[in-house]
A and B are shown apart, each in its own frame.
Chain A
Amino acid sequence: MRYAMAVDTRKCVGCSDCVVACQTENNVPHGFCREWVVETMNGTYPQLEIEIRSERCNHCINAPCVRCCPTGASHFADGGIVLVEHNKCIGCGACIASCPYDARYPHPEGYVDKCTFCIHRIKIGLAPACAAVCPTKCIYFGDLDDLNSDVSVVLKKRKSKTLIPEAGTKPQLYFLI
């Protein structure tokens, strides 16, 4: 099993519904977010190209945060989801410094927090909150090992990219371009 997510940059309108849904679903403390939306503008007027990406933890295969965690609080759960076990985390900040995507944040209660791919929802067969709420249905989620899952199908059909692949992290958050 290998969970992954694909975000269609051509369908995403940047409404940030996913961000709010994530904050509500996961009780993210005020002033913080586990996911965010980036808008990239390329070229000079009038030849402009826009790309909108809903970004979050990349749940990397070669996750630097898991590697550098001194207590094993950051770990791989089923399907390669990168999780933080709160009662093992000492809040040293090593994982935060090690993430090239800056996807983690220090929770006010002391431990480090991040996107969980809504593992509590996946376990009961629901899609992650961001994917479930997206009004343009541009977020695909599923198991890459299952060739018929939404994400496998769309990644086979469309061209895609990952963020900073040169960091060697093998990110599992794909962007359809």
Chain B
Amino acid sequence: MEEEILVSGRMNQLIDPQLNIWHWQIPLYLFLGGMAAGILCIAALYFIRGRENDYRTAVRITPFLAPFLLVIGLLTLFIDLRHKLFFWQLYTNIRLQSPMSWGAWTLMVITPVSFIWCALHIRDIFPRWDWKFKWICDIETFFNKYKKALAWIMLIYGIILGIYTGILLSAFNARPLWNTSILGPLFLSSGLSAGAAATLILSKDKAERKQFARIDLVLIGIELFFIIHMFMGFLASTQVQIEAAKLFLGGPYTMSFWIFVVTMGMLIPALLEFMELGKFHIPAIVPAVLVIFGSLMLRFIIAYAGQISRWLY
């Protein structure tokens, strides 16, 4: 039997008795960033493939959410910083080994791109919109001319943004639960799924709704595959990762993870979408809201549970 005590005492705030350095700001940002990435990727992909007219909502309307999501996300990131006035240091340094540096620079690109994309489609929401100044119209014509290039940038940076929200956590080997590279693809697919759900809510076109229910169904399948894979990896790994997996397999996060994320966020919406594709009529908003809720809970639970998981020490 081994017993370990800190005889000198150590009660560093936010570190002891267990790590609690990141609160609601980080998981909320991971969700907002992931969803924005999903929305922008889908819009860019359908535009590049020339399906703009088939999926009007996904390409032209849903992206209007992205700048809001990104700006709120940036704000929560800023709130999270403890040395706020030095935030600009992020943009005077490029650190290739730091996922957070990658993220900061990715946001620097994709946030303006999402604004430009919305500006190009502003007439879909306000048909009588007038830019008033000629120079703004010139800029608009410029970007309209190179819209395809813009879509490619949006697609590539969208994927980086979606993956980085997971890699941000998986780069920390000190927290065994986070230390799995599957978090990158898992968060990307979860973000894409939330993005597809947003179109499902906003779309008024039946064919488009059907297509996005199908996309969502596939993405949920992929997510479930990643989750099973994640646990397989943990359970076949070292003791610290087995302990990390146990947080979800009988530990304190068991109920919240399997009920909120897997059942409510994946299985039920998958079932509803499956029924919708069949003969039943189900209001599209129900599975869509559940998917978005599950995506949010996934970030919260992973972010909080990861801070509990640690090396045997």
Chain A interface residues toward B at CB < 8 A: 14, 16, 19, 31-33, 35-44, 52, 64, 67-73, 86-94, 96-102, 104-106, 109-112, 163-164, 166-168
8 nearest A-B residue pairs (beta carbon): A91-B82, A110-B83, A91-B83, A70-B100, A37-B8, A100-B174, A16-B8, A105-B12
Chain B, range 123-174, C-beta contacts under 8 Å to A: 171-174
B3 with A36: CB separation less than 8 A = no
17 chain-A/chain-B pairs, Cβ below 8 angstroms: A19-B8, A36-B6, A37-B6, A39-B4, A42-B1, A68-B98, A68-B99, A70-B103, A71-B92, A89-B89, A97-B19, A100-B173, A102-B12, A105-B12, A105-B15, A106-B14, A110-B83
List CB contacts (< 8 Å) of B1-20 with chain A.
1-16, 19
B313 at the interface (CB under 8 A from A): yes
Docked complex Cα distance between A32 and B78 (Å)? 25
B7 touching A33, Cβ below 8 Å: no
Instruction: Determine the chain B residues whose CB is within 8 A of the CB of A166 once the complex forms.
Output: 238
16 additional A-B pairs beyond A70-B101, A87-B86, A100-B173, beta carbons within 8 Å, are A14-B7, A16-B7, A31-B11, A31-B12, A71-B90, A71-B92, A89-B89, A90-B87, A91-B82, A91-B86, A93-B80, A96-B21, A97-B19, A99-B174, A102-B15, A112-B82
- B22 interface hit (Cβ, 8 Å): yes
Q: Which of B2, B83, B98, B175 contacts A89 (CB 8 A)?
A: B83
Known: A94-B98, A168-B173. A43 touches B311 (CB 8 A): no
Chain A residues with CB under 8 Å of B279's CB are none
Neighbour of B171 across the interface among A14, A43, A98, CB < 8 A: A98
Contacts of B82 in A (CB 8 A): 90-93, 106, 110-112
- Best-buried of B4, B80, B86 by chain A (most CB within 10 Å): B86
Contacts A70-B98, A89-B83, A111-B83 given; indicate if A36 touches B313 (C-beta within 8 A).
no
Answer whether A106 and B21 are a contact pair too, CB < 8 Å, given A39-B7, A71-B93.
yes
The one of A32, A92, A98 that contacts B81, using a Cβ cutoff of 8 Å: A92
Nearest B residue to A88 via CB reads: B89
- Which label, helix, strand, loop or mixed, suits the secondary structure of the A interface? loop
Q: Distance (Å) between the CB of A69 and the closest chain B CB? A: 6
Whether A38 and B4, one on each chain, are in contact in the complex, defined by CB atoms closer than 8 angstroms, is yes
Shortest distance from the beta carbon of B49 to any chain A beta carbon, whole Å = 35
Complex: how many Å from CA A39 to CA B4?
A: 6
Q: Which A residues are in CB contact (< 8 Å) with B5?
A: 38-39, 41
A99 vs B171: C-alpha distance when bound (angstroms): 11
Q: Smallest distance from the beta carbon of A110 to chain B beta carbons, Å?
A: 4
Q: How far, in Å, is B179 (CB) from chain A's closest CB? A: 10
Q: Which B residue's beta carbon lies closest to that of A110?
A: B83
> What's the interface size class on B, roughly?
35 or more
Contact A43 B9 (CB under 8 A): no
Please name all residues of chain B whose beta carbon is closer than 8 Å to the beta carbon of A67 when the two chains form the complex: 97-98, 171
Partner of B9, one of A36, A64, A98: A36
Q: How far is the CA of A166 from the CA of B174 in the complex (A)?
A: 11
Given A96-B19, A96-B21, A106-B14: A64 in contact with B173 (beta carbons within 8 A): yes
Q: With a CB–CB cut-off of 8 A, which chain B residues contact A87?
A: 86
Chain B min CB distance to A82 (Å)? 14
* B313 engages A163 (CB within 8 Å): yes
Q: Which residues of chain B have C-beta atoms less than 8 A from A39's C-beta?
A: 4-7
B174:A36 contact, CB within 8 angstroms: no
Question: In the complex, what's the smallest C-beta–C-beta distance from A55 to chain B, in angstroms?
Answer: 9
What string of 1s and 0s marks CB contacts (under 8 Å) between B180-192 and chain A?
0000000000000
Q: Which of B1, B15, B238 contacts A96 (CB 8 A)?
A: B15
Interface residues of B in 237-252 (CB under 8 A from A): 238
* B104 close to A (CB within 8 Å): yes
Q: Is the CB–CB distance between A42 and B93 below 8 Å?
A: no
Closest to B16 in A: A102
Cα–Cα, bound, A104→B19 (Å): 11
Cα distance, A66 to B197, chains bound together (Å): 39
Tell me whether B206 is interfacial, beta carbon within 8 Å. Answer: no
- Distance (whole angstroms) from the CB of B85 to the closest CB of chain A: 8
From residue B105, how far is it (CB to closest CB) to chain A in Å?
9
Decide yes or no: A40 and B13 within 8 Å by CB, A64-B172, A69-B95, A89-B83 being known contacts.
Answer: no
B307 interface hit (Cβ, 8 Å): yes
Q: Is there a chain A Cβ closer than 8 Å to B84's Cβ?
A: yes
Q: Please give the distance in Å from B306's CB to the nearest CB on chain A.
A: 8
Q: In the bound complex, do residue A36 and residue B13 qualify as a contact, i.e. CB atoms below 8 Å apart? A: no
